[in-house]
Amino acid sequence: MSPAAGVVHGVFRVGVLLLLPASVAVADDVTIPGKVTAVKPAKLAKFVSKSAGGAFPLPVPQSAEDPTVAGAELRVYDTESPGAGDASFVLGASGWSGLGSPAGSSGYKYRDSTCKVTLKKKVIKAVCKGPAVTLTPPFAAAEGIRLGIPAGTAAVRYCAMFGGDESSNGTTRMKRTNAPEPFGCPGVPDDVRPCGDTAYACHGACPAGQTCTVNPIGEGSCECAPPTAVPCEDSGGGPMPGLCGGTCPDGLSCATIDVNVLPSIEIFCGCIPSDAVACAESSAPACGGECPPGLTCQAGGFGNFSCVCE
């Protein structure tokens, strides 16, 4: 459906908003720049976004995305888990009022005993106060903000992400300014992928009491292990089975999975089921030992190491 028909699909960018009508039915995510944000535990969660050019797209009055009809939810969170935590504020339909004539054509306002929210063509802002602000600075990473309509499973989300310029980030206050418009809605802690390669380092969710760390079977290989553990890795010695040592998650053991001999001897280790035979300890051509997830047992290497995980 075309913009003229009242629906715009996809991710919005401020640079193209000049092409949008003053009031549209929006879908998916609307990314917005951040002017200022501040968080004080049990006292304050505040953010202000101002348009850098054209107008922010607004929900069509009396549509399924009109907050006076559907309500909304504001979520403020640390994008690193656990970090400063995650606070959600349900903004019921009865607290919203439409601005302009007809009501909603110029935007919307929300008021209750905890939060005040403004959604207009040139500014989006929210201030929530009191014990419902369960965030506990300092923030470990960027602050994510989502204003979703309707509450729950949102049809539209206005999204900001405050890295930006930081003036304070301690136990009593976090304040940041001038955050650029993000490429998409920032992930929340329960969106985090399982422990795995995240392009630059091992990062992701692990069971309680474990952290995501390097499993040295190649660049970008990761595993969950106790934070004080020695990672599963070569513990020294010559090219023979059983030289790998270190801590693996419950039910897994550290085993030799590959060996390189040129230009020098390198032994590669990985976590495999505790009752399994490691691939690199079996004999080619009948390679059938166990490999870490994502690798297969194949002929290669030399001697007792004629099978490797690749």
Look at residues 164, 191, 218 and tell me which one is the last residue of a structural domain.
Answer: 191
- CB-side exposure of 163: number of CA atoms within 13 Å? 6
Look at residues 136, 156, 191 and tell me which one is the last residue of a structural domain.
Answer: 191
Say yes or no: 76 and 179 in one domain. Answer: yes
User: Looking at residue 15, what is its pLDDT?
Assistant: 30
User: Looking at residue 71, what is its pLDDT?
Assistant: 94
Domain count, the chain: 2
User: Looking at residue 154, what is its pLDDT?
Assistant: 76
What is the sign of the dihedral through the CA atoms of 58, 64, 68 and 74?
A: negative
Dig out the tokens for 265 from the structure: 């001897």
Say yes or no: 124 and 143 in one domain. Answer: yes
Say yes or no: 147 and 104 in one domain. Answer: yes
Q: How far apart are CA 118 and CA 91, in angstroms?
A: 12
Say yes or no: 176 and 206 in one domain. Answer: no
Could you tell me the pTM of the whole model?
A: 0.57
20-23: long-range contacts at Cβ-Cβ below 8 A with a sequence spacing of 24 or more? 20/54, 20/55, 20/57, 22/55, 22/58, 22/105, 22/121, 23/58, 23/59, 23/60, 23/61, 23/104, 23/105
SS3 at position 61: coil
Say yes or no: 150 and 205 in one domain. Answer: no
User: Looking at residue 96, what is its pLDDT?
Assistant: 97
Say yes or no: 129 and 215 in one domain. Answer: no
Residue for token pair 């300014």: 177
Say yes or no: 119 and 239 in one domain. Answer: no
Say yes or no: 12 and 125 in one domain. Answer: yes
Q: How far apart are CA 255 and CA 272, in angstroms?
A: 7
Say yes or no: 185 and 219 in one domain. Answer: no
Distances (CA, A) of 96 to 110, 193, 288: 4, 35, 64
Look at residues 141, 166, 191 and tell me which one is the last residue of a structural domain.
Answer: 191
Residue in 164, 173, 188 with CA at minimum distance from that of residue 49: 164
Say yes or no: 14 and 124 in one domain. Answer: yes
Say yes or no: 87 and 183 in one domain. Answer: yes
Q: What is the pLDDT along the chain (310 residues), one digit of tens a residue?
A: 333 333 222 332 323 222 333 444 444 689 999 999 999 999 999 999 999 888 999 999 999 899 999 999 999 999 887 789 999 999 999 999 999 999 999 999 999 999 999 999 999 999 999 999 999 999 988 999 999 998 877 788 999 999 889 999 999 999 999 999 988 887 766 555 566 654 444 556 677 777 676 654 444 466 676 665 556 665 544 444 446 666 666 666 677 766 666 666 667 777 776 556 666 555 545 676 777 777 777 776 554 446 777 7
User: Looking at residue 82, what is its pLDDT?
Assistant: 78
Say yes or no: 117 and 209 in one domain. Answer: no
- Domain with 14, as residue range(s), is 3-191
| End-to-end CA separation in angstroms for the chain | 48
Distances (CA, A) of 114 to 5, 143, 173, 197, 259: 37, 20, 19, 40, 61
